[in-house]
Amino acid sequence: MSMRLSRSIVGEAEAEAVRRVIVEDGYLGMGHETCLFEQELAAYLGVAPGQVVTTNTGTAALTLAVDAIAPRDAARKPQILVPSLTFVASFQAIVAAGCEPVACDVLAGTGTIDLGDAARRITPDTLAIMPVHYASNPWHLDEVHAFAREHGLRVIEDAAHAFGCLHHGRKIGSFGDVVCFSFDGIKNITSGEGGCAVFFNATEAGYAADARLLSVEGDTRSRFAGTRTWDPDVKRIGWRFHMSNIMAAIGRVQLSRLDGEFIPARRALGDIYRRRLAGLEGLRLLQTDPQDFVVPHIVCVRVLDGRKDELKAALTAAGIPVGVHYKPNHLLSLFRPAPGSLPLPVTEQVNEMILSLPMFPELTETELNYVIEKIQRFFS
Q: Residue 318 maps to which CATH number?
A: 3.90.1150.10
Q: Do 50 and 175 lie in a common domain?
A: yes
Q: What confidence score (pLDDT) does residue 13 get?
A: 98
Percent of the chain with pLDDT over 70: 100
CA-CA distance, 67 to 97, in Å (whole number)?
5
| 73 lies in the same domain as 169 | yes
Q: How many CA atoms lie within 13 A of 182 on its CB side?
A: 25
Residue 24: inside a domain: yes
SS3 of the chain: CCCCCCCCCCCHHHHHHHHHHHHHHCCCCCCHHHHHHHHHHHHHHCCCHHHEEEECCHHHHHHHHHHHHCCCCCCCCCEEEEECCCCHHHHHHHHHCCCEEEEECECCCCCCECHHHHHHCCCCCEEEECCECHHHCCCCHHHHHHHHHHHCCEEEEECCCCCCCEECCEECCCCCCEEEEECCCCCCCCCCCCEEEEECCHHHHHHHHHHCECCECCHHHHHHCCCCCCCCCECCCCCECCCCHHHHHHHHHHHHHHHHHHHHHHHHHHHHHHHHHCCCCCEEECCCCCCCECCCCCEEEEECCCCHHHHHHHHHHCCCCCECCCCCHHHCHHHCCCCCCCCCHHHHHHHCCEEEECCCCCCCHHHHHHHHHHHHHHHC
Same domain, 237 and 319: no
Cis peptide before 27 (omega within 30 of 0): no
Q: Examine the fold and report which residue of 199, 228, 252 is the final residue of a domain before the chain moves on.
A: 252
2 occurs within a structural domain: no
Residues 208 and 279 in one domain: no
Last residue of a domain, one of 203, 232, 252: 252
Same domain, 246 and 262: no
pLDDT, residue 79, reads 98
Structural domain that includes position 338? 258-379
Say yes or no: 131 and 40 in one domain: yes
Is position 87 within any domain?
yes
Residues 237 and 265 in one domain: no
Q: Is residue 204 part of a domain?
A: yes
Counting the structural domains of the chain, the total is: 2
Chain centroid to Cα 212, Å, comes to 18
| Pair (279, 229) in one structural domain | no
* Intervals of the chain under pLDDT 70: 1
Residue finishing a domain among 252, 270, 286: 252
**Is 330 within the bounds of a domain?**
yes
Q: Is residue 7 part of a domain?
A: no
- Using CB atoms within 10 A of its CB, is residue 23 exposed (0-12), middle (13-18) or buried (19+)? exposed
Q: Is 3 part of a structural domain of the chain?
A: no
Tell me the CATH number at 30.
3.40.640.10
169 occurs within a structural domain: yes
Contacts of 182 (CB under 8 A, 6+ apart): 57, 58, 59, 61, 160, 161, 163, 194, 195
Determine the pLDDT at residue 335.
Answer: 98
**60/181 same-domain check:** yes
